[in-house]
Amino acid sequence: MLWRNVIDLIALHPWAGWGWGELKFAHYSTLYAGPRFVEILDNAHNLPLHLAVELGIPAALLVCGGLGWLVRAARPWREVDPARLMAWGLLAVIVLHSLLEYPLWFGPFQLIFGLCLGFLWPAPAPAARRSPRVLPLAARAVPMACALALLAVVGYAAWDYTRTARSIWRATSGCRPTATTRSTRRSARCSSRHRSPSPG
């Protein structure tokens, strides 16, 4: 029923679509001849259909055809490197998932998709595929230092969030309201990531 409604919307604006992000309005404002999907839609739960309903059929064909051409040119079925095969496998899972849901609208899937594309592009030369070269220590140190710094920042953010969330939970649980309220205010004031914006 959902895809039938989306196809009806595509038929109303086949060339230019309804506009990016306008599926919710299109579904809400359209009277369908048949059954109607009961929820307000913000995604077609199918990437080609979503591109067609919001950008039009020509744009959807261009995007999907271009991606298909790039995959065919890359020839993933000829890969022998296990790491590259894993990256292609992850991309294939996300693409197949995109035919039934909308994973590319969520950060974790976007991160995996982007990391796999970055890992696979550019493709190494055939000789490099047969004999992987070992980078010198100096070339490996910079990415490792960046990764450790990013890990430290994410770890601090997680610790700060957990500390503040626990204080708020204790304050709303009804136990010792006076003491926990003071503790919550103190934690929120000390937090550098959960501070309220100053007025003006």
Q: Does residue 94 lie within any of the structural domains? A: yes
Range of the domain at 174: 148-190
Are 153 and 91 contained in the same domain?
Answer: no
Q: Token pair 């204080």 is at which residue?
A: 167
C-alpha neighbours within 13 Å on the C-beta side of residue 102:
13
- Per-residue pLDDT of the chain (200 residues), as tens digits, is 778 888 888 888 889 888 888 888 887 777 777 777 777 777 888 888 889 988 899 999 999 998 888 888 888 888 888 888 888 989 999 999 988 888 888 888 888 888 888 888 766 655 545 555 566 666 667 777 877 888 888 888 888 888 888 888 777 665 544 444 455 555 555 555 545 555 54
Burial of residue 22 (CB within 10 Å: 0-12, 13-18, 19+) is middle
In total, how many domains does the chain have?
A: 3
Instruction: Report yes or no on 39 lying in a domain.
Output: yes
Which whole-number Å values give the CA distances from 104 to 67, 74, 112, 143, in the listed order?
15, 22, 10, 26
Q: Which of 74, 108, 138 corresponds to the end of one domain?
A: 74
In a domain, 160, yes or no: yes
Cβ-contact 55, 22 below 8 angstroms = no
C-alpha distances in Å from residue 90, one per residue of 58, 79, 93, 94, 183? 28, 14, 5, 6, 45
Does residue 195 belong to any structural domain of this protein?
A: no
Among 40, 57, 41, which residue's Cα sits nearest to residue 49?
57
* Predicted local confidence at residue 137, as pLDDT: 66
Whether 103 and 60 map to the same domain: the answer is no
- Helix ranges, 121-176 (H): 126-130, 137-172
Q: Is 86 in the same domain as 34?
A: no
Residue 176 counted as domain residue? yes
